[in-house]
Amino acid sequence: MTQVDRLDTPTEHDSVAAKLSTLDRFLPVWIIAAMVAGLLLGRIVPGIGSTLSAVEIEGVSLPIALGLLVMMYPVLAKVRYDRLDTVTGDRRLLMSSLLLNWVVGPALMFALAWIFLPDLPEYRTGLIIVGLARCIAMVIIWNDLACGDREAAAVLVAINSVFQVIAFAALGWFYLSVLPGWLGLAQTNLDVSPWHIAGSVLVFLGIPLLAGYLSRRVGEKRWGRAAYERSFLPKIGPWALYGLLFTIVILFALQGDQITSKPLDVARIALPLLAYFVLMWGGGYLMGRALGMSYERTTTLAFTAAGNNFELAIAVAIATFGVTSGQALAGVVGPLIEVPVLVALVYVALALRSRFTHSPATASEASRG
């Protein structure tokens, strides 16, 4: 991301705020401003939604796609790919992530959707789709801001991407048709192609991942690791925040009219989403602590569990139910709630970092990595 200075040792007691750049320190302000700007654009500029949606990549507006690529590249260029084996060997982290993302997450969203929206089937279906789409984009930003393990985030995102291609359609069938049938609830069909999901993963993860990997390999070969990390990375770092803010503006501009014209509906959709993000993050954090993981990997586990792939959820909802459907609106409200909540949880994570000071688990994990 931008230059988020990492603490060299867990015994430093300087203020968290002092460790952040000016851009990062005022991140909530920039994000709120971007959300407001997007909503205003969607309301006061006629036809902006149709214009932005005119060109799509894998069902997602081209401007959003470009914003996501710009957002992810700087962070993935920071990953030290020669250290990935230290992550793939950590079975606790990998198994915990799979459990949280593909068992707990979808089940929790299914339960919350039915508890909070029993009388609103379109919004309920949209939320369940959001719960099935595991995060492969913005989570990298949140993890980096919270000083999580970049290499672990790269591995977990890649694993989630593979599972997304394999499991999304099957889980959609199970949670929208099979399980409701068993429970005597209303059923819904979801017709989505695994190839469409694979294309989405290829565009939104494959391209920036390849670019980041090549930057690291070529940069280190040409300048050396020290020069690459001290000179090149600080120059491209701020672009991750610029890409994030641009994406937020465009996303809310696309659906600004729907969001502002249905405030009560948005509020009802927001409640289960708020509960979901907090519970998933808290569950990931507590699981990491219980398993004796370091702060960095506990943080990565929590954020990769809480984040969702809103690009895919919105694209699937629009392709299946239509751009003006309640399912699509529920998908759009997802980032409306996710962005400020996970930004707040970045600060919660940083505040909790002191709890790992002098932790034997932290020291042993650091010695392995």
Q: Which CATH number do you get for residue 160?
A: 1.20.1530.20
Q: What is the pLDDT of residue 332?
A: 79
Phi–psi pair at 308, nearest 5 degrees:
-135, 150
- Inside any domain, residue 6: no
Q: How far is CA 81 from CA 190, 211, 297, in A?
A: 37, 12, 16
Please check whether residue 363 lies inside any domain of the structure.
no
Structural domain count of the chain: 1
Whether residue 241 has pLDDT greater than 90: no
Mean pLDDT, to the nearest integer, of 103-116? Answer: 96
The model's pTM:
0.77
Q: Report if residue 369 sits inside a domain.
A: no
Torsion of CA 337, 338, 340, 342, to 10 degrees: 150
Q: What is the pLDDT of residues 54-106, one digit of tens each?
A: 777 656 678 877 887 888 888 888 888 888 887 878 889 999 999 999 999 99
* Three-state SS at 47: coil
Which amino acid appears at position 213 of this protein? Y
Domain assignment of residue 339, yes or no: yes
Calpha distance 40→190 (Å, rounded): 33
Residue 269 lies in a domain: yes
C-alpha 114 chain-centroid distance:
23
- On whether the CB atoms of residues 7 and 147 are closer than 8 A, the answer is yes
Q: How confident is the model at residue 271 (pLDDT cuts 50, 70, 90)?
A: very high
pLDDT tens digits, 142-154: 898 899 999 999 8
Q: Is residue 364 part of a domain?
A: no
The token pair at 234 is 């600080």
d(CA 30, CA 243): 12
Q: pLDDT tens for residues 201-210?
A: 777 778 888 9
* DSSP string computed for 223-237: H-HHHIIIIIHHHHT
Please report whether residue 2 resides in a domain: no
Give the pLDDT confidence of 157-201 residue by residue, as tens digits: 888 888 887 888 889 889 999 999 999 988 887 776 677 777 777
Range of the domain at 48: 19-356
Do 19 and 365 form a contact (C-beta atoms < 8 A)? no
Domain membership of residue 1 (yes or no) is no
Instruction: Give the separation between CA 186 and CA 176, rounded to whole angstroms.
Output: 8
Name beta bridge partners: 308: 134
pLDDT at 28: 73
